[in-house]
Amino acid sequence: MASAGSSSSHSASHSASIHMPPSYLDSVPVETLVQHLLDAKRSLSSMGLVLRANELVHVARHAHEESVILKAQTQFLRRGISEQMRLLLRIRKDLMRTYDDGKREFKQIIKTLDATNSRLEDTMNVLRGQGVDSAFRPADEEKRSLLDFVDEAQVDRMREALKVNIQALQVIVTPYIIKDGWAMFNHNPITYG
């Protein structure tokens, strides 16, 4: 029974020590306890800051990864745009050369047509001045020239058709006047380069 009594007294002293503060706590001053409490609060606060800093590091790393990806994409696009610009400049150069060649050829055709028209006028004047000898025409017929045997209406229709076609071509070309690297279309300038 003594053992039961000793175990009962041990449990009673143990439960009393849980509820009763040890005597060394009475010797700790209140200022020290307050200081420990403030230090514990600061420690908890710095733990929150450490967690926030960790979160910021993860966000910054993610932003850095995105910026590296965007940089690579931007460089790819820049190379593509540069290549397209080189291609467009080559096309522009070829278009300018073609336009200049066409313009030169068109001027040459106009000169040739003017010279041909001048020769036609000269020929018609020669025919107009060349009368038909009376031996080659009936006696009751009035005096005629060689031009009377030419269908002048057909010559005039041919001239008018050429004029209409030249004017139509000029109407088509006029909106695309290219001069000194500028293309004009409907009077809205578009610059190249």
C-beta of residue 145 within 8 angstroms of C-beta of residue 129: yes
Determine the average pLDDT of the residues in 32-61: 90
pLDDT digits (tens, 9 = 90+) for 124-166: 899 888 887 777 777 787 888 888 888 888 888 988 998 898 8
CB neighbour list of residue 192: distance below 8 Å, 6 or more residues apart: 88, 89, 92, 181, 182, 183
For residue 89, how far is the Cα from the chain centroid? Answer: 14
Buried b (16+ CB within 10 A) or exposed e, 64-81: eeeeeeeeeeeeeeeeee
d(CA 97, CA 91): 10
d(CA 127, CA 15): 148
pLDDT digits (tens, 9 = 90+) for 88-120: 999 989 988 988 898 899 889 889 988 988 898
pLDDT digits (tens, 9 = 90+) for 72-82: 999 999 999 99
- pLDDT for 87 beyond 70: yes
d(CA 37, CA 35): 5
C-beta of residue 122 within 8 angstroms of C-beta of residue 157: no
pLDDT at 179: 54
Determine the average pLDDT of the residues in 170-187: 58
Distances from the Cα of 77 to the Cα of 69, 83, 87, angstroms: 12, 10, 15
81 vs 3 pLDDT, higher one: 81
pLDDT at 192: 35
Start-to-end C-alpha separation, the chain: 111
pLDDT at 57: 97
Edge-to-edge strands of the sheet including 182-185? 177-179, 182-185, 188-191
d(CA 30, CA 32): 5
192 vs 185 pLDDT, higher one: 185
Which of the listed ranges 29-38, 61-70, 157-166 does the model predict with the highest average pLDDT? Answer: 61-70
CB neighbour list of residue 95: distance below 8 Å, 6 or more residues apart: 178
Amino acid (1-letter code) at residue 27: S
pLDDT at 20: 52
180 vs 76 pLDDT, higher one: 76
pLDDT at 175: 66
